Amino acid sequence: MKAVILLSGGLDSSTVLYQAASQGYECYAISFDYQQRHRRELEAAKAIARCAGVQEHQVVSFDLRQWGGSALTDEAIDIPEYRSLDQMSQNIPITYVPARNTIFLSFGLSYAEATGAQRVYVGVNALDYSGYPDCRPDYIQAMQTVFNLGTKQGREGKEIAIATPLINLKKTAIIELGNRLGVPWEETWSCYTGGDEACGVCDSCQLRLAAFAELGLKDPVPYALRHEAIGA
């Protein structure tokens, strides 16, 4: 059995890769260099792919800076810092990249059909406070229809399934799962900034740090500033 894994190098996608491997899938990882501010995550993706022993790791390059629309692709837009969980949950944040997961899943689908894979794994999570529209169950269901209708394999009744094993898990549960699977957290990267150290104050860093702290664990990733005590 083969599976394509959308691998950003972050906590969630790394856990998904290790889970797919533990379930006996021959894993083909695909990562995306879209000229994001946090391209540091690509180094993490390559390291995680090596640690997991994937069959193949593709890095697809394109430039979303051309039209911006997100703090992750436009350096003129500030990345939000020091936000509470309540603030994170109120609106879709400026770190949302327009239609990013639709782009990623389209590449993943093409890669899966070309390699004869039965599944495309993606580490989306609907319980994170980011509230991104392309991380929600109804979106994944709609994309599954696209997978079925938009491919030769799907039309022939050989479904390429979208696997979202983390979609209903809290961040603490994801870390616990990753611990059981042996995910090397020190190799992962979740920060929205592109420094040598994680900033510790963007939404992604705060959610990650808070989850490790809730479990009584120390995140092994180096931080310029730790800000774990976020709350509503």
DSSP classification of residue 164: -
Spell out the domain ranges in the chain.
Answer: 2-186
DSSP classification of residue 80: P
CATH entry, 2-186, from 3.20.20.70, 3.40.50.620, 1.10.3720.10, 2.40.37.10 = 3.40.50.620
pLDDT of res. 227: 60
Asked if residue 138 has pLDDT above 90, the reply is: yes
Closest alpha carbon to 68 in 37, 44, 108: 37
Whether 79 contacts 192, CB under 8 Å: yes
Query: Average of pLDDT values for 13-42?
Result: 97
Structure confidence at residue 231 as a pLDDT band (50, 70, 90)? very low
Structure tokens at 24: 């006996």
Binding site as annotated, residues for ATP: 7-17
Query: Average of pLDDT values for 55-65?
Result: 97
Binding site as annotated, residues for Zn(2+): 191, 199, 202, 205
Radius of gyration of the chain (CA): 17
Whether 113 contacts 192, CB under 8 Å: no
Query: Average of pLDDT values for 5-23?
Result: 98
Give the helix/strand (H/E) hosting 60. strand 56-61
Asked if residue 232 has pLDDT above 80, the reply is: no
Binding site as annotated, residues: 7-17, 191, 199, 202, 205
Mean pLDDT, the chain, whole residue set: 94
Query: How many CB atoms lie under 10 A from the CB of residue 179?
Result: 13
Reduced to 3 states (helix: H, G, I; strand: E, B; else coil), residue 154 is helix
Structure confidence at residue 69 as a pLDDT band (50, 70, 90)? very high
Owner of token pair 């500033």: 225
